Amino acid sequence: MVSLPDGAEPGVSHSSKVPEITAFRDVGPDSTEERVCSNPTSEDNNNLEEEEGNERRRDQIGHASQDYANDAGIVWHYLTFDTELPHPTTIHPTRLDQKPPPEPPNLVKYTNPFKWSEMRKNFTIWVSCVITTLTAFSAGAYSPGVGQMMQEWGVSSVAALVGITAFTTGFAIAPMILAPFSEINGRRPVFIASGILFVICQLCSGLTQSYAGMLVVRFFVGVGGSTFSTMVGGVVSDIYHAEDRNKPMALFSGAALFGTGLGPLVCGFIAQNTTWRWIFYTQAISCGTMVALICVVFKETRGSVLLSQKAKALNKWYEAREAAGYYGLNVSDPEKTGPMVSQRLRWKVRSDEERASLGKMIRVSLYRPFHLLFTEPVVFWFSLWVAFSWAVLYLTLAAVPLVFQSNHGFSLQQANAVFSAMCIASILSAVLSIYQEKIAKRHGKLISTPEGRLYFACVESACMPIGLFMFGWTSFSNVHWIFPTIAIGIATVGIFSIYLATFNFLADTYHRYASSALAAQSFCRNILGGVFPLITKQMYNYLGYGPASSLLGGIGALLTVVPWILVFYGPRIRARSKFASEIRDATG
C-alpha cells in the first residue's frame, strides 16, 4: 500500500522539478523468485495464477493509493516550464461500472516560447513586422490628403496637420495603459482588440464629415495602432534571448521606417487620382485583412501567460479525473528518498501570485517611465536623442512635398514618390545591421556589455545630421532633385541606427525595468514627432531651406555624442544608476 511517510502532511511544495515516475514493480514470469514446475500443464496453471495475483496486487495498490488520495486534501505545487509532470496513480477502472479516465490535455501549445522552432519564431517575427509596417503606413499616409481636407473643411495647413499630432498622441499614451493588460492576458488578445479598434477607426476616418471628427478618430487610430508597434518589441523579448535579438529587432526597426515612407508613397497616388477618403478605405481593407490573419495564425508569446494557461489546463484535467473517480498523482517526497506518494495535486504559477493588482500595475506603468526619464541620465539622453531623430522623420512628411512641389515643380504624387528613398534606405539599413553584427561576432570584436550595442551606432548615427545638411543645401531649384532625394535616404540610415541602438541599449541595461525605460523614450519620441510637422512649413519659409535644415543638422550632430560618451563612460554611469545597480546586484 502506498502511503505518506510518517509525519508528512499535505502541504505546498515549492519545488519546480518532479522526478520521473517509476512504474510499480510487476512480479511476472521473468521474476527471480523461486518457482517449482512439475510439468508443462502445471507450469501454465501456476503462471496464470501468478499473473492473476499480480493483477490483484496492482489493483490493491491502486485502490489503496486512491483511497488515501481521496481522503487527503489538495496539495499545490509551483509549475515552471522545466517541471516534469507526474504520472497518475492509476489509469485503470477500480469498479466494474466505472468509465475510463478522461484523456489528458494537449500541452504542445503551451511550450516555452524560447524553445519554439526557428521556423515558428521566424513566422511570428514576419507577421509582427507586417503589422508594424501597416501601423507606420498609417502615420505617413495622412499627409498626402491634407490639401483636399483644407479645401473641404476650410482650415489651414497647420490645422489639417494636427491629424498627425492626434495620431502620435494616442500612440504615445495608449501603451502605458495597455501594457499591463498584455502582462495579465497576453499579447494576442490585446493585439486582436486593438486591431479591431484600429480597423474601425480607419474606416471612420474615411467616413467622417467634419474636421473635429477627423481629429477624434485619428487619436483612436493611434491608440489602436500603438500596440502593433510598441508591443512587437515585447514579442521579440518573449521568444528571443538578449544575445539573439539583434536580427529580429533590426527587421522590426526596418519595418517601422519602411512603413512610414510607404504611406505617403502609395497615398500620394491615391490622393491625386481619387479622393482623400480612399486613403483610409484602402487602409481599412488591408488592416482588416491583417487583423483577420492575426486571429487565425498568431499564437500567444508571453511565457508567464502560457504557463498560467498550462496550469489551468492541467488542473481542469485533474478535476475531471477526480469527478470520474480517479484520484491521485505519484510524486516524490521532497524530504525523503523512497517510494512515490499519491497526492491530489494542483498547479499554480509564481508570477500570478507576485503580480500586483491591475489598478496598481496601471499606476506604475504611468508613473515609472517618467520617474526613469527624470532620474536616470541614460534614459533621459537616449529619449532625447531618439525623440529628435523621430521628429526629423515626421518632419519629412511635410518638408518633402513642400520642397519638391515648390522648387522642382513636382505634382503631389511625384513629390510623395520621393519617399521611396526612405523605403529603400530602411531595407538596406536592416540588412546592414544584421550582417555587420554577424561579422563583428565572427572576429570577436563585439563585447557582451550593453556598450557593445553602440559601436556601430556611433558611426552610423552621424548619417542623420549629414543627410539633413545635404537635404537643406541641395533643395534649390538649380540642383537636380536626385540629390535631396539621396539625402533623405542617408538621414533614414542614421534614424534607423539611433532607433535600434536605443532599444537594444535600454533593454540590456534595465532588464525588468526595460519596458518602463522604453515607454519613456516612446512617449518622448511620438509627442515630439507629432509636433514637428506643425512647424515645418513656417520654419522652412522663414529661415530658408538651407538654414532650417542646417539648424536641425546641428542639433543632430550635437546629439551624436550620446553613444560616444556611453561607450567610454557607460560602465561608470551605470554603476551610479539606482535601477541598473539594483539589477546588477540581483543577478550577482
The pLDDT assigned to 47 comes to 53
- The answer as to whether 22 is a domain residue is no
- The answer as to whether 77 is a domain residue is yes
Residues 85 and 187 in one domain: no
Residues 157 and 196 in one domain: yes
The pLDDT assigned to 15 comes to 40
Q: Which of 571, 576, 583 has the alpha carbon at shortest distance from 513?
A: 583
- The answer as to whether 109 is a domain residue is no
Which residues does 452 contact at the CB level (< 8 Å), separation at least 6? 446
The pLDDT assigned to 72 comes to 62
The pLDDT assigned to 503 comes to 86
Rounded to 10 degrees, the C-alpha dihedral 436/438/439/444 comes to 120
At residue 303, what are phi and psi to the nearest 5 degrees? Answer: -60, -45
The pLDDT assigned to 137 comes to 94
**428 exposure class (CB count in 10 Å sphere: 0-12, 13-18, 19+):** middle
The pLDDT assigned to 92 comes to 82
The pLDDT assigned to 27 comes to 35
Tens of pLDDT along the chain (588 residues) come to 333 344 443 344 444 343 333 333 333 334 333 333 334 444 444 554 555 555 555 555 455 455 555 556 888 999 999 988 998 888 888 778 888 889 999 999 999 999 999 999 999 999 999 999 999 999 889 999 999 999 999 999 999 999 999 999 999 998 888 877 887 888 899 899 999 999 999 999 999 999 999 999 999 999 999 888 777 888 888 898 888 888 899 999 999 999 999 999 999 999 999 999 999 999 999 999 999 999 999 999 988 899 999 999 999 999 999 888 888 888 877 666 667 788 888 999 998 888 878 788 888 888 888 888 888 888 899 899 999 999 999 999 889 999 999 999 999 999 999 999 999 999 999 999 988 877 877 766 666 777 777 888 899 999 999 999 999 999 998 999 999 999 999 999 999 999 999 888 888 788 777 778 888 888 999 999 999 999 998 999 899 989 999 999 999 999 999 999 888 887 788 777 777 666 655 555
Residues 464 and 330 in one domain: no
Q: Helix, strand, or coil here: 336?
A: coil
The pLDDT assigned to 422 comes to 95
Q: Which of 335, 323, 296 has the alpha carbon at shortest distance from 195?
A: 296
Q: Which of 278, 230, 293 has the alpha carbon at shortest distance from 256?
A: 230
Residues 161 and 293 in one domain: yes
Residues 289 and 141 in one domain: yes
Residues 377 and 468 in one domain: yes
Parent domain of 272 = 115-301
What is the number of structural domains in the chain?
A: 3
Residues 264 and 379 in one domain: no
DSSP 431-478: HHHHHHHHHHHHTT---SSGGGGGHHHHHHTTHHHHHHHHHHHT-STT
- The answer as to whether 33 is a domain residue is no
- The answer as to whether 21 is a domain residue is no
Tell the residue number behind the cell numbers 542646417, with chain if given: 550
Residues 364 and 344 in one domain: no
Residues 440 and 528 in one domain: yes
- The answer as to whether 287 is a domain residue is yes
Residues 343 and 386 in one domain: no
- The answer as to whether 32 is a domain residue is no
- The answer as to whether 406 is a domain residue is yes
Cα angle vertex 449, ends 444, 451, to 5°?
Answer: 95
Which residues does 408 contact at the CB level (< 8 Å), separation at least 6? 477, 481
Q: Helix, strand, or coil here: 18?
A: coil
Q: Measure Cα distances from 15 to 23, 69, 361, 442 in Å.
A: 22, 20, 28, 40
CATH number for 488: 1.20.1250.20
Residues 189 and 243 in one domain: yes
Counted residue by residue, the chain has a size of 588
Residues 251 and 285 in one domain: yes
